[in-house]
Structures are given as C-alpha cells and as structure tokens.
Amino acid sequence: MTTLVIAEHDNKQLKPATLNAVAAAQKMGGDIHILVAGSGAQDVAAQAAKAVGVASVLLADAAHLQDGLAENVAEQVLAVAGDYSHIVFPATASGKNVAPRVAAKLDVAQISDITAVDSADTFERPIYAGNAIAIVQSSDEKKVITVRVTSFDAVAAEGGNAEVKTVDAVADSGLSSFVGREVAKNDRPELTAATVVVSGGRGMGSAENFKLLEPLADKLGAALGASRAAVDAGFAPNDWQVGQTGKIVAPQLYVAIGISGAIQHLAGMKDSKVIVAVNKDPEAPIFGVADYGLVADLFTAVPELEKAI
C-alpha cells in the first residue's frame, strides 16, 4: 500500500497545503510519495524531499505542465498512478480541479474534502455546508481523495531526506491553453494559513470602510477575510471570501465584523478556535457560534479595539 500525494506549488515554492495533505496520507498508512508536476520545478521537488514522512519524490518537468492545466496534470497523475492505492490532493482550487478528472479516468468515485481518516478506506467529510458530518466507506480499489487542509496539522517541512526521481512527462493534450493570471495583491498572511483572521461583512457598508479593518489586522498580524455579501457588493476581492463556496479557515482567532452569520459563511469558519463577533444586531446568528460577542456599532468598536490591543 503506497500513497501518492500531488504537490501544490507555483514552480518555485512548495505550497504548505501539500504538507497538510501528507499529514492526512500518513493516517492512511503505507509509504508516501509526492508527485511534483511542473516546469522548472526542481526547487519544489527538493523542498518536497525534505518534508518529514515522504519516502520518494517524483518530478515531471515539461513546459506544458507549468500552469497546472487540468487536462495535462490529470494525464501526468494517471501516467504514474499504476501502483498506488491512494491518490491524495489538497482540497485547494487546483486539487479540486484535477482530482475528479483523475478519478473518472480510473473509473473510481472520488471522496471530497475529508476532515478525518478513520481507516484506509473510511473517511469523514462534511456535507450540507458543514451542517452534517458523513462517515463514508469506499469500495473502489484505488481511492482518490481531496483533503481539507485546515483539518490536518502539517508535517514538518524540514527533516526528511527523500530521493528525487525524474519521471517522463506526458505529451501536451492540446485541449486547453493558459492565457493569463491576475494575482490579487496581498502582503498579509495567506488566508487559509493565518493564525488570526479579521473578516468584514455587509455591515462594513463600502469598500472605503473596509479599510477600517486594516489597522486592526495589522496589529493582530491577521489575514483579511470577507463574507459573500461583502464580496458581491464589491467591498472586498473575491479570493477573500470565507464560506462554503469560498475558503475554509480554522485560525486560532476569527474576528467577524458586521457579519450576520449565514450558514454558508459559518461553514467556512466554525472550526476556528476562538470566534469573536462584533455586530449591532443582538439577534444576528453569528452570536450563536461566537465565544465572545460584542453588540456595538462597528464604526466605533473597531477603532477602539485596535487601540486597546
């Protein structure tokens, strides 16, 4: 029994989500190999080889693997999939994009966004926006799985000593091509990895007012998040969205400001260790999950809070 973990990276850096996926793979038992599919990604392979618990790193390097196009990456995974009992992806945008394509080609069901490993074939996953937890058992010979990264503590990035093997890259499918990328400018911690998250909702009122959260986030060393209402209203960029259809976060401290707490939002943050809510409506559902609630106007409470910390 051997598990293949598909590395998440940008051809230069191994993304931390990979280390969480390795941690989940350890619970499935057996050796763990990592596949790095990319272009000029030797550094990524070297970083993956240092991760604790990794037995071997496979590097597939070709120009058409550079941008993570699903058709090419899925073919690359299939090309090496032969001997593995488990194929594991972090449940990131790229993991979710590729994993089902691999599963369908192998004619196996895929298990999405697992939050716990009960045994090599039994897993826990949230359904209905996190309002229920299902324990599911796969009867397929190969398991294709995506892992909710916030549910598993990452393995150490240093300390391992795996060998890096180069594998043949598959041919370009020619079905799709990469056009361009618009990276949101962000010098704060990454939302899904931050230990503190400060999020704003519709109650912020405008994109200008959203800036009110910045000094507070700076003081706390926090990432900024947003509810769907705030994103749809144009107050915040869409990759800040926390919720069922956005990012899933589980920081030490989550500060929800002007967020009512719709179930779709709660699905993205209710595993946070401590939740603080600031809202002027004492009936807002967010107070049902908040450890500490403050019923107050955010426009006076936020600057006060920033000064007091």
| Helices 93-105 and 70-80, axial angle in degrees (round to 10) | 50
Q: Is 131 in the site for other proteins (CB under 8 A)?
A: yes
Which stretch, 23-31, 49-57, 79-87, 98-106, contacts other proteins (CB under 8 A)?
98-106
* H or E element at residue 36: strand 31-38
Q: Kindly tell me which residue out of 247, 257, 259, 269 binds other proteins, with binding defined by CB under 8 A.
A: 247
By the 8 A CB rule, do 249 and 268 touch? Answer: yes
By the 8 A CB rule, do 266 and 130 touch? Answer: yes
> Rule CB under 8 A: which of 251-270 touch other proteins?
252-253, 263-264, 270
Position 161, amino acid: N
Beta pairing partners, 123: 117, 136
Closest separation in Å from C-beta 245 to other proteins = 6
Q: Is 137 annotated as a binding residue?
A: no
Q: Is 114 annotated as a binding residue?
A: no
Which DSSP state fits 225? E
Q: Is 273 in the site for other proteins (CB under 8 A)?
A: yes
Q: Is 173 annotated as a binding residue?
A: no
Give the count of beta carbons closer than 10 Å to the beta carbon of residue 113. Answer: 19
> Rule CB under 8 A: which of 167-226 touch other proteins?
173-184, 186, 192, 196, 220
Closest separation in Å from C-beta 205 to other proteins = 20
Closest separation in Å from C-beta 284 to other proteins = 11
Q: Kindly tell me which residue out of 54, 70, 197, 259 binds other proteins, with binding defined by CB under 8 A.
A: 70
Closest separation in Å from C-beta 24 to other proteins = 17
Q: Residue count at the site for other proteins (CB under 8 A)?
A: 91
Q: Is 87 in the site for other proteins (CB under 8 A)?
A: no
Closest separation in Å from C-beta 287 to other proteins = 7
7 vs 16: CA distance, rounded Å: 9
End-to-end CA distance of the chain: 51
Closest separation in Å from C-beta 93 to other proteins = 4
Q: Is 245 annotated as a binding residue?
A: yes
* Residue 31 CA: distances (Å) to CA of 10, 87, 118, 145, 293: 25, 12, 18, 16, 46
Q: Is 132 in the site for other proteins (CB under 8 A)?
A: yes
Q: Is 103 in the site for other proteins (CB under 8 A)?
A: yes
Position 151, amino acid: S
Which stretch, 20-28, 155-163, 199-207, 301-309, contacts other proteins (CB under 8 A)?
301-309
For other proteins, give the closer residue by CB, 50 or 142. Answer: 142
230 vs 213: CA distance, rounded Å: 13
Residues 6+ apart with CB under 8 A from 251: 194, 195, 196, 197, 222, 223, 272, 273
Q: Is 201 annotated as a binding residue?
A: no
Could you identify the residue written with the tokens 């989500």? 17
What residues are designated binding site for FAD? Answer: 202, 227-228, 241-245, 258-265, 279
